[in-house]
Structure 1
Amino acid sequence: MSKDLLKSFQEAYRNLELLPLSQEKDLKQFRVEYGGDTIDELEQLVEDSPSNDGKIIFTGHRGCGKSTLLAEFSRNIHDRYFVVFFSIAETIEMSDVNHINILFAIGLNLMLEAEARQVNIPQSTKDALEKWFATRTRTEEKSIQAEATNENSIFKSISTKLKVDSTIRYEIKQEFERKVSELVAQLNIIAAAIQIAYKKDVLVIIDDLDKLDLSVVNTIYKDNIKALCLPGFRIIYTIPIAALRETALKPIIENETNDQVVVMPVLKLFPKGESRQPNAQPRQETFDILCEILQKRIQQELIEPQTAQKIALNSGGVLRELIRIANECCRICLRLIRRQPDEAVMINADILDQAINHIRNDFALPLGSAEYKILQTTYQNFKPEDPKAQEFLDLLHGLYVLEYRNNKNWYDVHPIVVELLRDEDLI
């Protein structure tokens, strides 16, 4: 077995993890210039808001690069604000997220960040906040003193418990479900203490809310958006793009946030309808970005240039799908190297066909006749019969359907899912 080849593919496989570029070292290694307009739009809303408590909703397809862009945005604006950027998925069990523990997590992460930066909050204020958090999470008074003598503070201890202990999450919900104003008042006390000590306004950015199931999102935002907008400081919330197609939800969000909604578009490979034409040529700027992303993660000698281009075309312009296809190709190659140690292995057309077939089968599993009908109509008309139908919203959320933007929004079917339609003789 060629150890060098095995190591090279193992490195490529690691480089193709489906994770955002949130760490500085990852950004330096893999960052490709894109999304500048979206960053500018976020910055404008944050900087030019008539008040210091504006709420922004940030949306886009799963895997279009929102998390990476938010991480970069938080770094860009770090010297002007006390920025707290955290993932709800790393803070609370995703199946148990609600508006109460989102607000509680904001307060907890404000205190964790203040500790990390050694913000000089008056000791009496800090003691009162520690006692408040300990009481609300049923943490023993002795535990506060014990934690203070260890590396972990009381806030780190509570953060760990919030993630793993469903009982604590239930108790917090019971405590504040009818007393949201008390919880928000405490958040404002924390933010005010930080702003006075740090001499900068607070900006909280919450990632991964867009990865929640649509039913959960609907409950959080439609029924409780007023509560989420109560804190007296700037907050950026994320939301799935499909949720903004809900007839009842969109106007509520726009009204409560003063229409401060920022959409990160999918990278558009083709103008509307051109991908159906013989010998269609993709938009060069988008194509170059996608190919550059692969070049930074896969050594040149491991992949045929034409195959890299086909991976880009099959991604539909969604960064997550680009990485997902390439990752599957590396998995196949790693198995081949072990099975045929004396053979030369690289990502070629045959490997890509196997990878796409595997992903296509994954796409096919949940589809029934109703979903196929919606996909067929969307492919033919660039929109469904009913863009508010739950089945369509689920397809949009699951990346079966991709939303693109010109002067008007339009939809297309994921390139790999198009093959499923052909298999069913629907196009």
Structure 2
Amino acid sequence: MAINLREFFKATDPSRTLFINNGSDSKYYIDFSSVRGGDIIQTLKKKITFFQPDEPTCTLFTGHIGCGKSTELIRLQAELESLGFYVVYFESTDDLEITDVGIADVLLAIARRISQSLDKIILEDTNKFNALLQGALNLLNSEVTGLKTKVPGVGDVGFSAEKEKLSLSVGIGEITTKIKSDPKLREKINQYLAPQKIQLLEAINQELLQPAITKLQQQGKTGLVVIVDNLDRIDNSPKPWGRPQQEYLFVDQGEYLTKLNCHVVYTMPLSLKFSNDYGTLTQRFHDDPKVLPMVSVQYPDGSIHQEGMALMQQMVLARAFPDLQPAARLEKITEIFDSVSTLERLCMMSGGHVRDLLRLLNTWIMEEMALPLTRNTLEKVIRSRRNEMVLPISDSEWQLLKNVKQKKKVSDDDGYQKLIRSRFVFEYRESGESWFDVNPILAEARELTSL
């Protein structure tokens, strides 16, 4: 049966997260753990389910943006739920303005998502929460002018009329929606709530988490897990006092992120691993951040990593032939590509970065508009991508890239932080050892080939 080009294009959408508990998405999923230095998700799962099921845990999970963290976290959610845990997973970018995030914003977002997810559980006593939120709502009402209606207060939307108790998810939602789109209001609320973060944590723990977990356990659940995805995407612009936002949230305020009385997994920007403050960060959290590295498609000496290459090819072929077994897919390569070597070239140029591979492939399909896809068009797509990547690179950064290409190492230097953030440099793991290399598309730039 002929491949539907439009369906193949949709299946390779790089912005799409795989929800592997969904039947159709599960057919696209490839387990890369054997070529990523181990199964990080199993490590996270064992910590929660075996080693510390009855006490709160806090884990940082990191890796390059687009390397597959969300898909793996959704796999973690599915596996934890199968073991009786109640899991609240959410993408923090839906609640937070990533260019300006405060600790109060994060705690409010978590509280909102938990209360929203557990809306059928009646909370008996939310007096501390009511007081904090009412103060925030009053502040917003005093600041908002020119609106036809005020932000709700007790007795209005956000509060149930019965005993004037707060519907937490709606009440918090009123605040988070307003402050996400208005930086001045966001600053006011953070100035109000940040000094009260201990009280906010107490309210979340005592009036939300503790009663919710008790009722979940009465319903036969093992415990509560919160997965906060996309916090790795927060911008690193400086706060008004000069502190980079990522260091402010995860280092300066990291202690508060660990204080929630349930199991929590946060995604963290990978560049923080190369920050001068990384040592302090690891003291704030009980465990070192868990890293999801690139899929190894080659070894440090440049030779092809056959297993990694084979799995990346399967990722591509599964998008075209989801119902075929892996061996049968290999027989169909020339229905999609003009040669096997063309598919290998695509996988090699991705550097083992899942989303970058899909981005190249998706663009290639759009350019070619026909099957089989040809090597000439792939090279055109690669050159175009390289031209975009080299534009912002300074002379000093080229030198850093040359160092990485030669030594396969990076250091805790601000320059390297930017290279990691920009996905100019990738991290790989092999037998417990990590090594680094330049993004293969960039590695073929004139500035690096003239070494």
1:172 counterpart = 2:189: yes
Aligned partner (choices 96, 110, 120) of residue 100 of structure 2: 96
Match of 1:389 in 2: 413
User: CA separation in 2, counterparts of 1:12 and 1:160?
Assistant: 37
Which of 65, 69, 77 is 2:80 aligned to?
77
Correspondence for 1:309: 344
Q: Could you tell me which amino acid in structure 1 is paired with residue 213 of structure 2?
A: Q
Match of 2:145 in 1: none
Query: What is the letter of the counterpart of residue 419 of structure 2?
Result: L
1 CA distance for matches of 2:310 and 2:171? 48
1:60 to 59, 63, 73: 63
AA partner of residue 38 (structure 1): I
Looking at structure 2, the residues matched to 60 and 172 of structure 1 have their Cα atoms a distance apart, in angstroms, of 31
Match of residue 225, structure 2, among 186, 203, 228: 203
Cα 1:16/1:103, change in 2 over 3 Å: same
Distance 2:196 2:171 in 1: 24
Select 2:429's aligned residue among 397, 401, 405: 405
- What are the within-5 Å matches in structure 2 for residues 19-418 of structure 1? 19-22=16-19, 24-25=21-22, 27-35=25-33, 37-47=39-49, 48-49=51-52, 52-78=55-81, 79-115=83-119, 118=120, 120-122=121-123, 124-125=124-125, 133=133, 135-138=135-138, 139-141=151-153, 142-144=155-157, 153-154=170-171, 157-158=174-175, 160-161=177-178, 163-188=180-205, 189-199=207-217, 200-214=222-236, 215-248=244-277, 250-273=278-301, 275=302, 280=303, 282-298=304-320, 301-304=335-338, 305-334=340-369, 345-384=371-410, 387-406=411-430, 407-418=432-443
Quote the offset at 1:351 in angstroms.
Answer: 1.2
Task: Give how far 1:424 is off.
Answer: 5.7
Q: Could you tell me how far apart the structure 2 residues matched to 1:328 and 1:84 are?
A: 34
Identity %: 22
Deviation at 1:365, TM superposition (A): 1.0
**Aligned-residue RMSD, C-alpha:** 2.9
Distance apart, 1:194 and its partner CA? 0.8
Provide Cα deviations, 1:90-148, integer angstroms capped at 9, x if missing partner. 11121122222011111111101102xx3x324x4369856754553443235327999
TM-score norm. by structure 1 comes to 0.85
Distance 1:68 1:145, change over 3 A: closer
Corresponding letter in the other structure for 1:370: S
SS at match of 1:235: strand
Q: Provide the rounded CA distance (Å) in 1 between the counterparts of 2:429 and 2:20.
A: 30
Shift of 1:290: 0.7
- Could you tell me how far apart the structure 1 residues matched to 2:9 and 2:133 are? 42
- Secondary structure in 1 aligned to 2:427? strand
Structure 1: segments with no counterpart, 5+ residues? 335-343
Structure 1 SS opposite 2:39: helix
Could you tell me how far apart the structure 1 residues matched to 2:257 and 2:64 are? 22
| Residue type at the aligned position of 1:8 | N
| Separation in 2, partners of 1:108, 1:146 | 14
TM-score, length basis structure 2? 0.80
Counterpart CA distance in 2 for 1:351 and 1:148 is 64
1:253 Cα deviation after fit = 2.2
Q: Deviations over 1:18-68 (max 9, x none)?
A: 232136435324211233711111112223138622211111122221111
Number of the residue aligned with 2:11: 15
- In the TM superposition, what whole-angstrom CA distance separates every residue of 1:267-311 from its partner, at most 9, and x where no partner exists? 1122221x1xxxx4x222211211111112246533333322211
SS in 2 for 1:64: coil
Structure with more of its chain in helix, by fraction? 1
Which stretch of the first structure deviates more once superposed, 172-181 or 348-357? 172-181
Distance 2:158 2:309 in 1: 57
Instruction: Give the C-alpha shift of residue 172 in structure 1.
Output: 2.7
How many matched pairs? 399
Structure 2 letter corresponding to 1:263? V
Distance 2:117 2:176 in 1: 12
How far did residue 84 of structure 1 move? 1.2
Which of 21-30 and 71-80 deviates more? 21-30
